[in-house]
Structure 1
Amino acid sequence: MLELKYGDSKVDIDLSKAKSVKVLNENPMDEITDLKSEFIKGVTTNMINSKPLREVISKGDKVTIVISDLTRFWQRQDLICEQLVDYLVEEIGISYDDIVIVVAIGTHRMQTEEELCQLASKKVYDKVKVVNHDCDADDLVCVGKTKIGTEVYVNPLVVGRKVIMVTGTVHHIMAGFGGGRKSVIPGVAGRETIKQNHIRCLSETEKKTDPRVASRLLDNNPVNEDMNQAGELVDVAFGINIVVNTKSKHSKLFCGDFHDAWIKSCKYVDDCYGVPIEKEADIVIASCGGYPKDINLYQSTKSIFNAARAVKKGGTVIFLAECREGGGAPDFFSWIEPLKRGVLDEELRANFTIGGYIFYALCEAIAKSKMLMLSEIDPNFVKDLNINSYKNIDELLEKVDFEGKDVCVLPYGGSVVPLLQD
């Protein structure tokens, strides 16, 4: 009997009739037991292609720390913020008044004061100025153009100051891997800059995603390469890259050169979360890992993208996502309307948004297989996406025949990436 997380509860599925069952979990990962000690090593002795932090930043410098917003709080950057600010003040002599923390929102909503406090930690929030980035602000600064013409407008607080980027590294459907330079675009960039970069997800010649754009792909990925060039236009003094396990516990810190330390973290993420499979399965069962990872459909899409990597064309995906908050942000699910009218590609190219692209990519992933979803979401809400949604697991399983089938299971579908071996 297979037990998987669903919302705040668990679901049992009988796989006794299956021909084979392969459960994909992350590879063994380290877990940091003494965060302060690990942080100190990261900024004093274990740097990657960088001088120690105290030789990069000096007393009297104006310092900007860039952190991610609430959608990435799983990386627990608040704990890193505490260590970093303490070190800057106590070991280097930086004044609290000379430090500002910018939350890299991209095009997401502004964080409330309570959320800013949560993201930076109360200890830091009470002593240091913490602000939202605004992608529509009038005072954004142009720091140049990338080779393919993206005009890079960024928050003025990352120009002319010593910048420390604190990011979390994961697989990413557009950029290959998240973290690192993504804190520049989209993190602290202008809305038009973000659009110019992200629209490169779409093929220039066909109505589909550019095949060079996908999770794990960095080389020749036009989105990643453009982001890298934008990152070079911002003079980042030091990078701190966080990798966590599926329990959101810190596994490793990769500190030092903004680009090189991030690349090392990508390798570690791929080694831990990239799991080889010899063949695609007849049936893939994917859980997001329960609440809050399955809070809405938008947050749950990572599990569908990874399930699609493991299922045969024409196979079946059983997807467990409670979605107590429905489809998620309007910028995501409102694209159902152009989908119904058959003009999704045209309208996305004309009015590109990140949420719109995730919706677009979701449609492509679903098209590979039959999608059966256990969810509280209204079945009529997702039928135009070709998702058959059920509120009862027994009713869903009546539609599935496991007899003689190869089954692949992803208990943490948003984290583990199946890698089909050649």
Structure 2
Amino acid sequence: MNTVEMKYGKEKISINLEGAKSVSILNERPMDEIKDLKKAFKKGITTEVINSKPLNEIINEDDKVTIVISDLTRFWQRQDLICEQLVNYLIGELKVKHENIVVVVALGSHRKQSEEELCKLASKSVYDKVKIVNHDCDADDLVNVGTTPSGTEVYVNPLVVGRKVIMITGTVHHIMAGFGGGRKSIIPGVAGRQTIRQNHIQSLSKTEKRSDPLVGARLLTHNPINEDMNEAAKFIDVAFGINIVVNSSSKHSKLICGDFHDAWLKSCKYVDDAYGLRIKKEADIVIASCGGYPKDINLYQSTKSLFNATRAVKKGGALILLAECSEGGGAPDFFNWIDPLKRGVLDEELRASFTIGGYIFYAACESISKCNVYMLSSIDPDMVKDMKITASSNIEDLLNKINCKNKDIYVIPYGGNVVPLLEED
């Protein structure tokens, strides 16, 4: 295989790998795709529930019901289609009054969604029937439901207290919590800002200037972020969980429903079986695409591909990341941390003023330190040089820097999806 074609922005780039010792393509395993969503949803909440009664034995017609869904940054899971099925079922079959149903968008500390966005997130049908609200992590009426063993004071939206709560979440690998979805809809989803900070700062080692080694994609056992989230979730009486898994085309592959924790754990295994790809050894060179626009719209969005791709390259090897970054570095909460990096105080300042975007920047710098990172990008090369990234808008320039001759190369067409797993680990 001399040439590979990969997505870059809204285009495709051909890359000549002539002379390489070996070229292996790393793709996720083929996944099922739901053909009849209504049928799959009905099975998921009735005959195929995990460690739970079916939904119709949990919700009564006089209950006040809160449905929690994710915000626009996670719209890839298309929870609007599931939310529509759920509300139709609650009102049409269980006879729950529409005025007793409220949909809460689990923003965490993200920006408020517009009315147009709320309609998109929950579906027009749901928007026209029931109340839809943004969570506000700085609201005055947040409820203190307890303190976790690690000391996180858990303040949550009052709409998830004293009501029947149904969580709709999407499960993916996650750089901090091991896997997204499930209990992440509580922290950070519907939690207070200080609660989020107290939980997320546990991603940093207590004894060294580095991330806690127990924090990372796939890691659940002893992961302090995950375990603290699980403890916080115990304070919320979640009646039912609906976990969405999608394929790389954002088509629904599986709905795993039932007990909030147990059904989510099963969805994690399903995700890992599909996207966790075992490799026998690390390669000399890894060439990874984010999957094109909008996955490579900025550097912040591109970091997931960076994290995954560096797992597959030898220490001191080379990574070429295809990330156009048409909007530059991304949100200020991410890229403004370049200044403390330049001053050599990134660790100290992040611990003093922890933010999620800041930690993603911090973790990106850690991943980059493993190998030589080159980025095919429209970003200004001077913007990323202090991160130890060599950027160019010309693929030939980058290929000339790494020399593919007699090298083992991995090609990852969808870097944000595939999580390479070294067999010896």
Q: Note whether the superposition's TM-score is higher than 0.5.
A: yes
TM-score calculated relative to the size of structure 2: 0.99
> Which residue does the alignment assign to 1:208?
210
Alignment of 1:140-179 (within 5 A): 140-179=142-181
Between 144-153 and 256-265, the greater mean CA deviation after superposition: 144-153
> Which residue does the alignment assign to 1:125?
127
Superposition deviation, residue 96 in structure 1: 1.2
Asked if residue 101 in structure 1 is aligned to residue 103 in structure 2, the reply is yes
Superposition deviation, residue 15 in structure 1: 1.5
Identity %: 73
Give SS of 2:67's match. Answer: strand
> Which residue does the alignment assign to 2:40?
38
> Which residue does the alignment assign to 2:337?
335
State the Cα deviation string for residues 19-57 of structure 1 (Å, max 9, x = none).
Answer: 011111001211000000000000111000000101111
Q: Which one-letter code corresponds to 2:147 in the other structure?
A: K
> Which residue does the alignment assign to 2:23?
21
> Which residue does the alignment assign to 1:228?
230
> Which residue does the alignment assign to 1:49?
51
Q: Which one-letter code corresponds to 1:236 in the other structure?
A: V
Structure 2 unmatched runs, 5+: none
In 2, Cα distance between equivalents of 1:376 and 1:118: 31
In 1, Cα distance between equivalents of 2:39 and 2:132: 25
Asked if residue 275 in structure 1 is aligned to residue 277 in structure 2, the reply is yes
Q: Which one-letter code corresponds to 1:179 in the other structure?
A: G
State the Cα deviation string for residues 203-257 of structure 1 (Å, max 9, x = none).
Answer: 0000000000010000000100000011111110000000000000000000000
Structure 1 unmatched runs, 5+: none
RMSD: 0.7
Superposition deviation, residue 398 in structure 1: 2.0
Superposition deviation, residue 394 in structure 1: 2.1
State the Cα deviation string for residues 359-414 of structure 1 (Å, max 9, x = none).
Answer: 00000000111111011111111111111111122222221200000001111101
State the Cα deviation string for residues 119-170 of structure 1 (Å, max 9, x = none).
Answer: 1111111111111100000100001011111100000010011000000000
Q: Which one-letter code corresponds to 1:401 in the other structure?
A: N
> Which residue does the alignment assign to 1:183?
185
Choose the corresponding residue for 1:113, options 112, 115, 118. 115
State the Cα deviation string for residues 78-119 of structure 1 (Å, max 9, x = none).
Answer: 000110000000010011111111110101111111111111
In 1, Cα distance between equivalents of 2:268 and 2:16: 36
Superposition deviation, residue 420 in structure 1: 0.2
In 2, Cα distance between equivalents of 1:314 and 1:167: 38
Alignment of 1:380-419 (within 5 A): 380-419=382-421
TM-score calculated relative to the size of structure 1: 0.99
Alignment of 1:82-101 (within 5 A): 82-101=84-103
Give SS of 1:316's match. Answer: strand
Q: Which one-letter code corresponds to 2:258 in the other structure?
A: G
Superposition deviation, residue 72 in structure 1: 0.5
In 1, Cα distance between equivalents of 2:376 and 2:12: 12
Give SS of 2:129's match. Answer: coil
Give SS of 1:92's match. Answer: coil
In 2, Cα distance between equivalents of 1:131 and 1:388: 43
Between 337-346 and 396-405, the greater mean CA deviation after superposition: 396-405
Q: Which one-letter code corresponds to 1:187 in the other structure?
A: G
Q: Which one-letter code corresponds to 1:273 in the other structure?
A: Y
In 2, Cα distance between equivalents of 1:382 and 1:113: 36
State the Cα deviation string for residues 254-288 of structure 1 (Å, max 9, x = none).
Answer: 00000000000000000000000000100001100
Task: Kindly report structure 1 stretches of 4+ aligned residues shifted beyond 3 Å.
Answer: none
Q: Which one-letter code corresponds to 2:383 in the other structure?
A: F
Give SS of 1:307's match. Answer: helix
Asked if residue 356 in structure 1 is aligned to residue 342 in structure 2, the reply is no
In 1, Cα distance between equivalents of 2:56 and 2:48: 13
Give SS of 2:311's match. Answer: helix
In 1, Cα distance between equivalents of 2:376 and 2:120: 32
In 2, Cα distance between equivalents of 1:352 and 1:366: 21
